[in-house]
């Protein structure tokens, strides 16, 4: 049963990655953590939580850079859009997680990871038309 849960968690993470993302960019730490978790729910949740924390750091760096490269007239829009996006991400992932039943925590965390990866990509391309 643990192997099935681990396989399901890994498959869900693979499916959650944005289409444009390079699978080799998936952090080795996350893969190793999930492997060690052996499908135990609490450990899988711990692994995913650590990845969310790592992604939050990357998100902050991408956001800070987007603000820095923005012209004065664009800066307020970037700041407002980030606040709006964070509310959207958190609300959407909470809502989606509610439909996952006993896996709601893991599903919510996977959603946070997926959407945060997408936002980081968008922020890193802020100055592109």
**Each residue of 108-127: pLDDT tens digit?**
999 999 999 999 999 999 87
CA gap 25, 12 in Å, rounded: 16
Per-residue pLDDT tens over the stretch 23-38: 345 677 787 777 777 6
- What 8-state DSSP symbol labels residue 28? H
Enter the pTM of the model: 0.73
Architecture of domain 2-124: Up-down Bundle (1.20)
Residue linked to tokens 């970037």: 78
Q: What is residue 92's three-state secondary structure?
A: helix
| CA atoms of 76 and 20, how far apart (whole Å) | 28
For residue 87, CA distances in Å to 33, 52, 112, 127 come to: 29, 16, 12, 23
Tokens at residue 68, please? 């820095």
DSSP letter at 26 equals S
Tell the residue number behind the tokens 């693979």, with chain if given.
14
């Amino acid at each position: 049963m643990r192997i099935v849960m681990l396989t399901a968690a890994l498959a869900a993470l693979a499916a959650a990655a944005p289409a444009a993302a390079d699978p080799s960019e998936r952090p080795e730490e996350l893969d190793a953590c999930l492997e060690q978790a052996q499908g135990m729910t609490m450990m899988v949740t711990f692994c995913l939580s650590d990845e969310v924390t790592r992604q939050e750091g990357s998100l902050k760096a991408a956001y800070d850079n987007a603000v820095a490269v923005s012209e004065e007239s664009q800066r307020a829009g970037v700041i407002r859009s980030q606040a709006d996006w964070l509310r959207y991400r958190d609300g959407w992932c909470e809502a989606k997680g509610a439909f996952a039943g006993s896996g709601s925590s893991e599903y919510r965390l996977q959603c946070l990871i997926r959407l945060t990866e997408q936002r980081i990509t968008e922020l890193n391309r802020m100055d592109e038309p």
